[in-house]
Chains A and B, each alone.
Chain A
Amino acid sequence: MRGRGGPPMGRGMMRPNFRPGPPFRAFIPHIPFDLVQCESTFPRAKSAPEEKPFTEALLKRNVDLTPSAPEQASVLALVSKIQTILDNLVVTPGAFEAAQIEEVRQVGSFKKGTMMTGHNVADIVVLLKTLPTKEAVAALGSKVQEELKLLEPIEGKVLTMLTNDSGFEMSSAEASVKCLITTIPPNLKKLDPELHLDGKIMQSHLAAIRHSRWFEENAQHSSIKVLIRLLKDLRNRFEGLQPLTPWIIELLSHFAVVNHPSRQPLAINGAFRRSLQLLSAGLFLPGSVGIADPCEQGTVRVHVVMTLEQQDQVCFTAQTLLRVLSHGGFKQILGLEGNASIATEMSVWEGVVVTPSDKAYEKIEKKEDEEEMEEDADESVRRKTCSVKQYQNIQSICHPETQEDADES
């Protein structure tokens, strides 16, 4: 995974002899500017602006986004039933012939407490001991459905079961539970694309388990959860932020709330603004140190799952939003007023014309031409011009929750 998709991690590091030759270039990531980290260098020269309305708006928005109690209850009911059924299968391996279940775990936004209203989907990862053939998955789905019908004779009839690439999904009227199938790591090598589910998806489900464990241990502060919800909402409304995966948003929220010198969690208004500032300052641009994925071995910068174009897009959208925010447009940003056009069209705030940022990234073709010309001279160019396909592969490896929470929007 080393350096994949990012600027060069330095080839030839192990070269034993140091004859004068082609220069070797180690990749030393650039640490982007972060105002919170250098507050001492930038003492306030003027009084801090009034933040109260903004904070209130943020909290209000959070309330709006949090699923209501009935919603939560219905999801919880469904999840616990399915969990019980699956647990029974774990305990009595003989009861189900098609597959053997090693472990059942809840993951995703429901588990993390960051579920959003209108998206009452919970995720459960089912770790199979056996190889996950498509038939076995379908059989498992049917089995669960049957059990559910036995358990709840009336409601159980309303339930639908759909199989898909990643497993199957049980849906009732109010809630649905995605059962994500994966298998124990030794089995991953044995997967046959013809017979089994896709290995990358299997891996992503394994990663999802790690993510929820990390989250449980590190991101239980409610500011983080509130911020995650707000940022997810932002991402849903502003197209430019679509490339941000739930996992990136979670890491970014954690970073924005906790990661500063005093280690005291920032208030929600500060953290929200900081997230936009970090994005604007190019935290997720090429060359930046970004955020290292805590759930991957080695140093994987979490933003490399996005293509360069996407990185640019996320950055300039955030930059525009930040400027709108600083001119007092928080209601539009939070979706309390207006629409998403502020990110793409010119707007006027108290006499100040805010022109949306435009993309800076240039087409790959040209880059590739250059690359040809330059005889692969500059490695970083080469790195950045990796094909989109390559990126997508990486994305699916590193960031399973694109699938897991894919249809959150």
Chain B
Amino acid sequence: MAHFVYPVPANAQPGTAYSAQPAYVAATPAQAAYGTATPRPGQAYESYPAAHATTQYAYTTRTQVAVTPAVSYDQPKAYYQPAPAATAYTAAEAHYQTAKPVFTTGAAGFTAQRPASQPKPPAVQVTTASQSYAYSAASTPAVNTYTSAYNNPTTTQSSISGTNIVPGYDAAVYSAASSYYQQQQAAKAIGTWAAKKPGTQPFKAKPKGPPKTPQLHYCDVCKISCAGPQTYREHLEGQKHKKKEAAMKGAATPVVRGGHNQLRCELCDVTCTGADAYAAHIRGAKHQKVVKLHTKLGKPIPSTDPVLVTTTGNSTVSVPKATSSTISAVGAGNKTVAKSTTSSVNIVKKVVATPKITFVGGTTLRTTGAKTEEVKAAPEPAAAAKPAEPMQTSSDDLKDDEHLNILGEKDVAPVGHEYIEEVRNEQGKTVSFNCKLCECKFNDPNAKEMHLKGRRHRLQYKKKVDPNLQVEVKPSIRARKVQEDKLRRQSQKEDFWRRREQEDRWRDEMRMEEEMYWEQHRRYDMEYMHRGPMGMMGPRGPFGAGPGPMIRKPESSDDRHVNAKHAAIYPTEVELQAVQTIVSACERALKQTSDVLADSDGPKPEEKKEIKKEEATTDAKQTEKVKEEPANTNRVLKGVMRVGVLAKGLLLHGDLNVNLVVLCSEKPTRTLLERMADSLPKQLATVTEDKYEVKRCVEEAAIIVTAEKEPNPSCTITLTSPVMREANTTEGETVSVKDPPDVLDRQKCLAALAALRHAKWFQARATGLPSCVIVIRILRDLCQRVPTWSHLSQWSMELLVEKCVSSGGPNMSPGDALRRIFECISSGIILPGGPGLYDPCEKDPTNALASLTNQMREDLTASAQHALRLVAFRQIHKVLAMDPLPPPRFPRQRFNNPRKRRHTGSGEGTEEGAEKKEKKEGEEATTEAAATTK
């Protein structure tokens, strides 16, 4: 087991290469990391046997090699392609051994051959079986074109290590890896592949050394050689060449017939419609001719791995097969000397490319390799054109299929052998085949195989022999188009929903902002606006939206009464000031107390963390605080938050007792409370000059701070911890086990936690609702005044109001909202048969009204019913316990007056004297009237 940690510098260049590749930008960093790292695992395999034939492997050797050809990094793809391989590696050995038949076979082939290859002298071409591969291997010395860039880690490896020791193994592994990757990818939509334009690649790859054999007239563009300068010139002037050139200059993607996946032989610039066709091409004379030519020219020979060409929309995706380059390297024997021998030693390598990414590869080989001379200055690090030493020609047909199966085609078992008739000639040699099912003839054994696997044949077989045979539905071009359309539509749909989601989120955020606005406004109201009648108007929406199209209800008599009452019960400025002072003093003192406690408790210096002193009133801030909490676990007192009327902004005139909740990291104990209570006066003294009395109240789990200055506001600081609630949900036993002996009263702590949730809920739901806060204040006053109503808890009242107002349509005026509350209770919502009030702040369905007795419910309902009728019959002042307001002093016509009189304007002349305020209201009303006029 050897661990290789790749030095980062080696990766530096690849990094840039990556960034240059737009297609990869989208790739996750992890992938990118894989990408950069990937060449290495493979290379490492190669190189270490080369050097030492031991598992001890210095990566650096390899790095140096890699660095030299750094130029070649301008072909970024080189790094991408390996990525799949890497993934495959990480994907656990299982893939290689069990899940991957590909690998197994490959390995089998490899092992089988190895004995054979081992003793062999360098550059031995192994046997006829693989002849066809041999010459593709010959291409290796050539400088890599973009294909190679993609491509084969193997080529890369060979170039770097200078030897290609166990190509078979590599081939196997890579084929396994890539086909695994392939499958994975194929399983997904093809469209997700990184978009690549293979067509542009060759030109990027251009910076190669001059061709070695200029005596040949070779046209790079068309990849043909010409017999002489004359023909060459003619060719260059020819239409065909120009077309091709133009197409290339335009960086056009290679012309791909059909809109679907094709396999492409980069060398010949030929696209094949299927794996079989591709295999046939590779075996074919034309391809071999080209290979020969390129070899002669010393041109880079792309691997025989097909490049998958997909055209979906305008993105062309090329995914080369990483696998078979090793195989192709076989033929390179002319120029290379393979000294390597392989021995079968298991080496499990663990390659760590970056701290976060670990590659685990399992190999079963130890190889030795000899360096071979570099044939060519390879711009490609990967493809440093080293004639790899082929020991291995073992790529057999079996593998071939697998290699080529990158279209995601299902490998089907050939069926209906028995229906193939062999037609023999006189000598008894098979000259052709006849398929009885399909009534067709062919004379190539390969074609026979292809035919047996072919769709047409299978269809016939299904029809005539075995109806159970599964024939893959081959999408026709149209079907394919439909399919593509579907995919596109799907993606559009997804896009649409994503956008929708974004919009929603955006709207939510806007809402949040709005809420914050309300909140600010409310506070502003509280602090400054209280004086005039303007302050009575209650929360106003953000202005500046211009006169909205919505119809605002004119202020009714009910509204006026409610607003007037609201103004009357609103706390005075002195009170607000006093409360503000004591709260901020307490908060600051608590923070310091927290610091002190943390210092004394935790010897570890913690990073200074602010306990949020700012308003604990906005949701955002609270969450922020929550987020911060985990950061310092040592601190006992984690934060202080305002709850109750203070947080909700429901302070009334005369409310001088406010509540804070201190969140502790553990269950708060009596000891903690006392420590706090001891420390608090000192801290209070430091933060303020005012005198405060600190009283501990253990049974309430609280400390009560009272100001000695008039009007003697007091602040109750309750200790609690989220842990208390968790304990609640689990078994009672665990609670008793874990609890410190002097833990504070659990009910009180839970109540404090609930208060916290209620405050959050309130800010989220009630604060932004027009009229809601006003009506809650009014009802709070009612609950304080009327004994019948005192049974209705603050929380259930808030819930009730919110539900009523939110369900009552937008823009309820305060008067309407109040009436609606009474209506709601009148219709029996809290009566025994009613639905109750669902508490949104509890995990289990909870009735917020559960504590009321039936008599209380009855009385409350009766009272609300009477109040409702009082409101309806214009006696709202009785409900609000105030004097009836005189009607606004607008000059009005008597009822009997004909409307005409208004138009004379005579009446209006006298109206000018009306008070300013009224006039303003009048204007408002008039515009509203204009809006409402039907």
Contacts and interface: CB of A to CB of B under 8 A. Distances in A.
Contacts of B826: 33, 280-282, 319
Interface string A304-343: 0000100010011001001101110000000000000000
Contacts of A402: none
Contacts of A282: 819, 823, 826, 868-869, 872
A26 B932 contact: yes
Contacts of B808: 31, 33
Contacts of B886: 374
Contacts of B893: 22, 376
A361 B873 contact: yes
B926 A49 contact: no
B610 interface: no
A365 interface: no
A298 to B, nearest CB: 12
Interface string B787-828: 000000000000000011011110000001001100110111
B922 A21 contact: yes
Interface in B876-934: 886-895, 899, 902-903, 905, 908, 911, 919, 921-930, 932-934
Interface stretch (A56-64, A128-136, A177-185, A347-355): A347-355
B902 A15 contact: yes
Given A15-B903, A361-B869, A362-B873, A327 B854 contact: yes
A280 B828 contact: yes
B819 A30 contact: yes
A26 B554 contact: yes
A373 B833 CA distance: 46
A53 interface: no
Given A26-B554, A378-B887, A18 B930 contact: yes
A232 interface: no
B824 A33 contact: yes
B885 to A, nearest CB: 11
A19 B905 CA distance: 10
Contacts of B847: 45-46
A20 B919 contact: yes
Q: Could you say which interface size class chain B belongs to?
A: 35 or more
Contact of A381 (B848, B850, B874, B928): B874
Interface string A19-52: 1111111101011111101110111111001000
B846 interface: yes
Nearest to B865: A319
Contacts of A15: 902-903, 929
A25 B925 contact: yes
B809 A23 contact: no
A20 B838 contact: no
Contact of A23 (B557, B890, B899): B890
Contacts of A42: 803, 807, 829, 835, 837-838
From DSSP, what is the main secondary structure of chain A's interface residues? Answer: loop
B930 A360 contact: no
B870 interface: yes
A400 interface: no
A357 B827 contact: no
Nearest to B848: A45
Contacts of A21: 902, 908, 911, 922, 926
B820 A33 contact: yes
A23 B832 contact: no
A30 B839 contact: no
Nearest to B803: A41
A360 B803 CA distance: 27
A18 B839 CA distance: 49
A38 B838 CA distance: 13
Interface stretch (B128-136, B227-235, B452-460, B855-863): B855-863
A278 B868 CA distance: 13
A243 interface: no
29 contacts: A18-B927, A18-B930, A19-B905, A20-B923, A20-B926, A21-B911, A22-B890, A25-B929, A30-B816, A31-B808, A33-B824, A39-B835, A42-B803, A42-B829, A44-B836, A45-B838, A46-B836, A281-B823, A281-B826, A286-B874, A316-B869, A323-B862, A323-B865, A326-B832, A350-B854, A357-B866, A360-B869, A377-B892, A384-B873
B888 A26 contact: no
Contact of B866 (A10, A31, A354, A360): A360
A341 B816 CA distance: 34
B831 interface: yes
B657 interface: no
A15 B803 CA distance: 39
Contact of A380 (B557, B865, B928): B557
A379 B887 CA distance: 10
Contact of A280 (B806, B837, B865, B902): B865
Contacts of A358: 866
A377 B888 CA distance: 8
A353 B858 CA distance: 8
B875 interface: yes
A277 interface: yes
Contacts of A278: 827
A382 interface: yes
Interface residues of A, number: 74
A41 B926 contact: no
A342 B845 CA distance: 35
Contacts of B868: 281-282, 285, 315
A28 B810 CA distance: 14
A13 B934 contact: yes
A288 interface: yes
B546 interface: no
Given A49-B832, A323-B865, 8 more contacts: A18-B929, A35-B835, A46-B836, A285-B873, A316-B869, A354-B862, A357-B866, A360-B870
A156 interface: no
A11 interface: yes
A10 B932 contact: yes
B553 interface: yes
B911 A22 contact: yes
A326 B870 CA distance: 23
Contact of A43 (B838, B854, B919, B932): B838
Contacts of A362: 873, 875
A41 B807 contact: yes
Q: Which of A14, A34, A322 has the most CB of B within 10 A?
A: A322
Residue from A325, A360, A376 whose CB has the most chain B CB atoms within 10 Å: A360
B818 to A, nearest CB: 11
A375 interface: yes
B869 A327 contact: no
A28 B868 CA distance: 18
Nearest to A378: B887
Interface in B380-398: none
A113 interface: no
B741 interface: no
B834 interface: yes
B828 A326 contact: yes
Nearest to A11: B899
A25 B554 contact: yes
A14 to B, nearest CB: 8
Contacts of B832: 49, 326-327
B54 to A, nearest CB: 72
A94 interface: no
A287 interface: yes
B827 A375 contact: no
A35 B807 CA distance: 10
Contact of B828 (A20, A322, A375, A384): A322
A282 B823 CA distance: 7
A12 interface: yes
B837 A45 contact: yes
B664 to A, nearest CB: 31
A322 B872 contact: no
